[in-house]
Structure 1
């Protein structure tokens, strides 16, 4: 029955059902269309909101507004970016400083504000002594009142000076020991502790060339050379007069001192020549060194300088230019045989120049005038006007670095900034590990070893760990004695700094020994400790800020980080150091880079050459590629990219602009001693080898920065 009931209906019931069916069909189609239209409109709104929320937004934080002002002041956007991106980013930059030098000045100003703030410290603490030293440095009235008296006292302790006082003819090596150990002055050579050049990189005494007070060069025009000598002679005559010397006698001793300097300089061998001859260093014992350069009492001089060590004739030392030391010794023996008083004057002249920052205005003005004349002769912009406050900041920072480190880091590199910087570094390091997998010239075993080296690399940021512990920092200043005059305080600071550096090498220290101050702007890779260091002073605006668009941080600070990471593999690129690599492919890329860089017009007619310069340029190109790869990966995982307002740059364009901003520098300030390419090449070389740059700036094929062929070593 149930079945029949379901299948059979009266005829009168079937008609209304058919009518409803005919009416419902078009209604259903209409309803479906309305629903589809609503779904389309709704999804469009959602998609529009999604794209709008993920698109670049203008960053309007105070940090971004300051960066915008900085970029607008340093760029010239009327220049075509595809032919001269350096001018596009840097043409309007004011002053002779590089971007790094400008940042260094800003950091010193911040440190000066810290030192100027009224504070109280525990008696005898490193902070108390630092602030006392700074205030005594600023007390120019007391320094002027003391006159040349404190300096004369120092000269008397060294046996006097033939041109200005009674001279006790002391033993030459006794005077040299005092200069080295008590005044940190090395007139004929430098001696310092450093890591052994071969594994295990244990501390070892290094004997190197001296740092000359006169800017002589291996290749210098005779006219320029004569003018430099003339200006330096005038300066030495002034020093003798300020110390009451007879003008005729002063003139004679000053001339001989310059002659000694000139001859010592001629003994030097250029670094390129040492590299070509594979004589960068030699390891000898003190006894062997004594035989080869007998004029110096090496054991007594080194023992007095490195009192924390127990030395013997069998002690090994590293000698960086043995030929220089042999010739220097012969010159000293000649002077001792004929004119030992001239040799004494030469050492005193050099010491007075070293101590000039701690002397009265007459000595400082003589030094300032000399520096200005030398800058003019070398074709460099004049140095800024003398600022006593900034000079005192520099001296206080140099002598009391551990005590001031924590104060600077708390002021400039808080936890949020450090966390953001570490996150950036991790992303850059991961990008390098990924990139190593694609290098065609590396064999599989070398690739795995390279990736392992990156993985094992340590990183330190901000300041040394021990410097952030006030108790440990204060212990380093127990021997500092301030007074009775500023020169004595200055000398006490010199001695304490030298003892601190030596002790840091000798202590079994679990952390890396920093080579820069926390407010410095130089990152570096330490081969001996396999650690890369980024001081707090470097990770600052305009290179880095947590509130910046990611494009800025990756383009500026990220490329700096990537460059230091690539220094891990410097030795790998030297000929014969990677036997299992595809040397043909490696050489091909190096030659490609060399040809590409040589094709760029270089300011001042300088030429691109030398393997060291080639390696530095390869690191520039690789660093930009790694930073860009890391930035693109970050864009895939994190939405909400920002750009700078009113700059009319996409995030990718801002990335390249930020990279170039790091290199900004006036072309006339390029030093011939620089190991880097000129700033234009450091911008144009990497950009021309980056296809993404041409794409984002829509560079036509064949433009200077969009060549038909690109090189990519890394």
Structure 2
């Protein structure tokens, strides 16, 4: 489905670094973690490794050898260490909220395991009865339309997004859905047979939990149905190609293009009827409508019965929760469920994020951090402009268009200007299932209210406490939640090289998403428009092809190689963003030579800070899932991949041709 933003993907699980390398200081009434004496944990390095042979291990090899991945996580990293700290702070807020408040009531309903055991599947019975009562395809279509704000699945997703051709107005986008595995390849390729078998076992198990007869045969029916969907589904690389997704139609044109379902009724019942519709993965939508028309109603009802129960599983009794985890761990590699309180805080943040975030930023995000971060962003934008101006392969007209887009790029730091109003969302302390249903309906109504209306670029797609950042491509804005603005990525007391190497590279990453392989197709107003000369477009394509070849050669796990096309945008963001951050650091020195600290030059500290931000390890199962379905490269190659194309990295560490990851200067890819 079409995505409205590109995120940096900063979070994965982590363990606490060695105590000797970390200290805490008091700031704005809250404890702040500080790494080392100037912002980098030097105790994690493996100095027996040459920087050019493996910079990941050079920067953190000792930590990797001494730190295990926690049993309840698929990986460990700086990102999830930050997220865990945030959760502890959010828990303090939630636990201090009145029991009858929205925060208090929802969290209490989630944590009341005794009540959930007592209720078992009782909350689910009404929804299952609705599925069982369906007598024809018209009623099934109506049920699918209701799932946009309720438990259950639809074969055709609905999303309100800015019009790709006129980004001042929100329109409806339609896409395909229906598969329970991460990607079509999981159904079609032999290497994913273990995951496929685990999914089929989960389907059969779930049908049994809700009292379905003949579970084995029905599990086979569902797998066969979803496999048919997989056969015509688009690849993940195609699903991020704006040119291929930009297929506007009227409702009448959609009905004629993809018969097999009554689109007028489906759109009317979901309250999304609109004069213009973006038909995203159009050929798959057409094929899926035809498959829907020929699939027996009983097969569809069995599929829907499973989907309702599976989606509801995390909010039911232990037997449902455990069964759901038994399947998910095959995709993540996690050995144990995360503590229930952490899952509960995730839920509160996901459903009441800006309400919770309002208190979070008051307590944990001082005005000094916001002001300093805003200045850093402006410095990075200046550096990005300099790199665009100095670009050796781009014609002047394309440069001027790029500079115009950069100048108009909005910057949002910490929290939204106006927090959301949740006053109409009812939360009850004894009704988790109902709370989730009401929250889902509330979120859908919030999205639906924008359909056909002017785009509000001040709205956020992440909560303030999120450890991540994003580029809202169709809105030409970059957003940095308060949650990511903490050590070691951002620390007002750290050495400048650290802040530029860590959070500076994140800022640069988000800025340069505006000029990656998809961002370059969007103009300064957020419209999909070709503002490139033909020659520049061809040169850009040649450069990205070379970069894609580099990443396609990286074996992320045994037998698993990175998809250079799928990860292209993120790889460009990483590499070009790091170049921009390094130039911004140099510009900040105003011609002065930075001091040598602990025997390290400014550039060495800059690159160590960058590597520390991506420090971590990941289970093979998780890497396999990520490579198949995620546009971000695994973290090891978010360190090595960009660095080996940067001249400054070679100079900083004296890296020569005898190093494993050396690339000759004339073979290094330089895009921006």
Q: TM-score, normalised by structure 1?
A: 0.78
Deviation at 1:170, TM superposition (A): 8.4
Match of 1:192, SS state, is strand
Q: Does the 8 Å contact 1:567/1:619 carry over to 2?
A: yes
The match for 2:93 among 93, 97, 114 is: 114
Question: What residue number does 2:474 align with?
Answer: 528
User: Offset at 1:434?
Assistant: 2.1
Q: Are 2:289 and 1:316 aligned?
A: no
Matched, 1:284 2:249: yes
Q: Give the structure-2-normalised TM-score.
A: 0.83
1:77 and 2:55 correspond: no
Mapping 1:96-245, distance limit 5 Å: 96-116=75-95, 118-120=96-98, 128-156=101-129, 158-160=130-132, 171-173=138-140, 175-177=142-144, 179-183=146-150, 185-210=152-177, 212-215=179-182, 217-218=184-185, 225-245=192-212
* Shift in alpha-carbon separation, 1:486–1:572, aligned structure 2, 3 A: closer
- Partner residue in 2 for 1:489: 435
* CA–CA distance in structure 1, aligned partners of residues 373 and 496 of structure 2: 11
- Segments of structure 1 that go 5 or more residues without pairing to the other structure are 1-57, 162-166, 468-472
> Which secondary structure state, in structure 2, belongs to the residue aligned with residue 518 of structure 1?
coil
Deviation string, structure 1 residues 536-561 (Cα, Å, up to 9, x no partner) = 11222220011111111000110111
Given candidates 649, 657, 661, the residue that maps to 1:693 is 649
C-alpha RMSD over aligned residues: 3.5
572, 575, 578: which one pairs with 1:621? 575
CA shift at 1:426, angstroms?
1.3
Choose from 506, 509, 512 the match for 1:563.
509
1:498 lines up with 2:458 in the alignment: no
Distance 2:460 2:615 in 1: 27
Q: Distance in 2 between matches of 1:268 and 1:401?
A: 33
For the 8 Å contact 1:512–1:531, the answer to whether it is kept is no
Query: Does 2:295 align with 1:335?
Result: yes
Q: Which residue in the other structure is 1:90 paired with?
A: 60
Which of 459, 475, 488 matches 1:542? Answer: 488
Asked if the contact 2:398/2:531 (under 8 Å) is kept, the reply is: no
Partner residue in 2 for 1:651:
602
Shift of 1:278: 5.7
Question: Which residue in 2 is equivalent to 1:45?
Answer: none
More helix by share: 1
For 1:402-441, what aligned pairs fall within 5 Å after superposition?
A: 402-441=354-393
The DSSP-based 3-state class of the residue aligned with 1:441 is coil
> Is 2:227 the counterpart of 1:262?
yes
Is 1:461–1:533's contact at 8 Å kept on the other side of the alignment? Answer: yes
Q: Say whether 1:253 aligns with 2:218.
A: yes
Query: Deviation string for 1:327-368 (max 9, x for gaps)?
Result: 2223322234xxx23321210110110111111111111111
Provide closer, same or farther for how the CA distance between residues 660 and 145 of structure 1 changes in structure 2, counting only shifts above 3 A.
Answer: same
1:459/1:111 CA distance change after superposition, 3 Å:
same
Count of aligned residue pairs for this structure pair: 621
Q: Residues of 2 paired with 1:223 and 1:441: CA distance?
A: 43
Call closer, same or farther: CA 1:537–1:459 in 2, change over 3 Å. Answer: same
Asked if the contact 1:543–1:662 (Cα under 8 Å) also holds between the matched residues in 2, the reply is yes
Deviation at 1:674, TM superposition (A): 3.1
